Amino acid sequence: MPSLIEFRGVGKRYTRPLASDVVALEDVSLDVHAGEVLGIAGPNGAGKSTLISILLGYVPPSRGEVRIANRPVREYIERHGVGYLSELVDVDPRWTVRQALLRFGTLAGVPESRLAVRVQEVMTRLGLDEYADRPFRKLSKGNKQRLGLAQALLREERVLILDEPTHGLDPLWMIRFRGILAELRRPGRAILVASHNLEELERLCDRVAILDRGRVTRVVEVGEVLPHTHETLYRLTVARGADRLSEVFTEATDLGRGDWAVSAPTLEALNHGIAALIERGVLLVGVAPAQSALEQVFHDAIGEVLL
C-alpha cells in the first residue's frame, strides 16, 4: 500500500523560559498507508498531541519532516484540507448544532450549493437530527463529541485525524461509531486515530503505533496479535477458597471483590491450573483475560503491567 502520510525522523523539543527543555518527540518515523486505519496509543505525555499538531501543521518539528501525499503538510492542507476531530470539541455556546455545522462547512470549503444538504447528511449519520436547533451549551458531552465527529466528516477528505473519537460517547454510540468508521474507510483514504482506549483501537485499527516518551516503540499489526504467545494475565473471580490460589498460581494477586490476577504461559497451563484449583475445592465464578491482546503488547512495550 502506498504511504499517504510520512513521518521521517521527526523530533520536537519545546523550549520553556525559566525551565529546562522538554523533548516531546524523538526520531519518529512512521507511515500511514492509503486505505488503512492507524492507531496511536501511548500513556499521558507520550507525545500523541504533539505528533498530531505537527501533522496538522500547527507546530513545526524541531527536526525531521512530515509529508502528506508527498507534499509538506501545510501545502497539502491548504490545498486539500484534512478532516480533524480535536480532543476537546468547543464552539460558541450559543450556536445550534446546525449553525455550527454550516459554519464549519463554510470554513472547510464545502461548496455553498451542497452545504445545507451535506450538513443534513452528517447530522442524520451522527444521530443529531433531533438536536439540530439546540444550542451547543445545552448539549450533553456525548452529543458534543458527535457534533465534533460530524464536522470532521463534512468534506470527505482523504486524510482523517481523530483525537480520542469515542471520548464521552455512551456504549451504544461507541458501537455505532465503529460502523461509521468502517463506512469511512476508502482505498485512497488514511485515517489516524489517537486514543487511550486500547480495546477500542484494537477494534478500529489495522495497525497501532505505540508511543512512549516520544518514541515509537512498537507498531502492532492488530490482526496478527496472538493472545497466547507469551505469559498472559487472567482475571479469576473466586467465590470460595481464594486462600489456596497461591498453591497453584504462585504469583496470584488480589484485585479485591473476589477478583484475582493470575498469569499462565499458554491456555493449556491455565486450564491445568484451574483443574488443580477445583481439585482443591476452590469455587470459581469467572475466568477472563485480564487485558486485551493489544493491552498486553502495549504494557510490554512501555514496561508496565496495569490491571
Binding site for ligand ATP (CB under 6 A): 14, 16, 22, 24, 42, 44-50
Nearest distance, CB of residue 108 and ligand ATP, angstroms: 24
Least distance in angstroms from the C-beta of 214 to ligand ATP: 7
> Could you tell me which of 92, 95, 90 has the C-alpha nearest to residue 141?
90
User: Taking the complex as a whole, how short is the minimal distance between the CB of residue 208 and ligand ATP, in angstroms?
Assistant: 14
Q: Which is nearer to ligand ATP, 20 or 250 (CB)?
A: 20
Angle at the Cα of 49 from the Cα atoms of 55 and 106, rounded to 5 degrees: 60
Query: Which residues pair with residue 287 across a beta bridge?
Result: 236
Cα dihedral 252/254/257/263 (nearest 10):
-30
Of the pair 46, 294, the CB lying nearest ligand ATP is at 46
> Nine-digit cell at 190?
488514511
Angle between helices 112-125 and 141-153 (to 10 degrees): 140
Question: Please, what is the minimum distance in Å from the beta carbon of residue 120 to ligand ATP?
Answer: 34
In the bound complex, what is the minimum distance in angstroms from residue 80's beta carbon to ligand ATP? 25
Smaller CB separation from ligand ATP, 53 or 253: 53
Q: Residue 295 — φ and ψ, nearest 5°?
A: -60, -40
Phi/psi-derived region of residue 88, left when phi > 0, alpha when psi is between -120 and 50, beta in every other case: beta
- Separation between Cα atoms, residue 171 and residue 169, nearest integer Å: 7
Q: Which is nearer to ligand ATP, 196 or 228 (CB)?
A: 196
State the nearest-atom distance from the C-beta of 15 to ligand ATP, in Å: 8
Residue number, 49 or 232, with CB nearest to ligand ATP: 49
Contact present, 214 and 23 (Cβ < 8 Å): yes
- Nearer Cβ to ligand ATP (22/115): 22
